[in-house]
Amino acid sequence: MPRFAFVLLTALTACAAAPGLSAQTIKLGEINEYKQFPAFLEPYRKGMELAVDEVNAGGGVLGRKLEIVSRDDNGVPGDAVRAAEELLTRERVALLMGTFASNVGLAVADLAKRRQALFIAAEPLTDKLVWANGNRYTFRLRASTYMQTAMLVPDALKAGKRRWAIVYPNYEYGQAATASFKQQMQAQQAAGIEFVEQAVPLGKIEPGAVVQALIDAKPDAIFSSLFGADLARFVREGELRGLFKDRPVFNLLGGEPEYLDPLKEEAPTGWFVTGYPWYAIDTPEHRRFRDDYQKKFGDYPRLGSVVGYSAVKTAAAALQRAGSTDTEKLVDAMRDLRVDTPFGAVIYRALDHQSTMGAYVGRTAVRDGKGVMVDWRYADGKDYLPPDDVVRRLRPTD
Q: Which of residues 215-254 bind another protein (CB under 8 A)?
A: 215-217, 228-229, 232-233, 236-237, 240-242
Choose between 128 and 313: whose C-beta lies nearer to another protein. Answer: 128
Nearer of residues 173 and 309 to another protein, judged by Cβ: 173
Q: Residues touching another protein: how many (CB under 8 A)?
A: 82
Site for another protein in 349-368 (CB under 8 A): none
Given the complex with another protein, which of 266 and 375 has the nearer CB atom?
266
Q: Mutual orientation of helices 145-159 and 172-188 as an angle, nearest 10°?
A: 40
Residue pair 124/104 in contact (Cβ under 8 Å)? The answer is yes
In whole angstroms, how close is the CB of 79 to another protein at the nearest point? 8
Question: In terms of DSSP bridges, do strands 194-200 and 163-169 run parallel, antiparallel, or are they unpaired?
Answer: parallel
Residues 51 and 353: their CA atoms lie apart, in Å, by: 22
Q: Does 21 bind another protein (CB under 8 A)?
A: no
Selection from 239, 247, 245, 277 nearest residue 364 by Cα: 277
Closer residue to another protein in complex, CB, 39/143: 39
Site string for another protein, 124-143 (x = CB under 8 A): --x-x----x----------
Nearer to another protein, 232 or 333 (CB): 232
Mask of contacts with another protein, 143-182, x by CB under 8 A? ---------------------------xxx--x-------
Give the interface segment with another protein, choosing from 182-190, 198-206, 333-341, 379-387 (CB under 8 A).
198-206
Alpha carbon of 191 to those of 161, 271, 365: distances in Å? Answer: 9, 23, 30
Restricted to residues 199-218, the positions that interact with another protein (CB under 8 A) are 199-201, 203-204, 206-210, 212-213, 215-217
The whole-angstrom separation of Cα 219 and Cα 226 is 18
Please enumerate in sequence order all residues whose Cβ is within 8 A of that of 282, keeping only pairs 6 or more positions apart, or say none. Answer: none
Closer by beta carbon to another protein, 132 or else 390: 132
Instruction: Name the one range near another protein by CB under 8 A: 39-47, 146-154, 328-336, 348-356.
Output: 39-47
Closer residue to another protein, CB minimum distance, 83 or 318? 83
Helix (H, G, I), strand (E, B) or coil at 36: coil
In whole angstroms, what separates CA 305 from the centre of its chain? Answer: 11
1 binds another protein per the rule CB under 8 A: yes
Q: Can you list the alpha helix ranges (DSSP code H) found in the chain?
A: 2-16, 38-57, 77-89, 102-115, 145-159, 172-188, 207-216, 228-241, 257-260, 284-297, 303-322, 327-334, 388-394
Site for another protein in 65-124 (CB under 8 A): 71-72, 74-78, 81-83, 85-86, 89-90, 102-103, 106-107, 109-111, 114
Q: Residue 268 CB, nearest distance to another protein (Å)? A: 13
DSSP 45-62: HHHHHHHHHHHHHTT-BT
Residue type, 253: L
Q: What is the C-alpha separation between 150 and 177, in angstroms, rounded?
A: 10
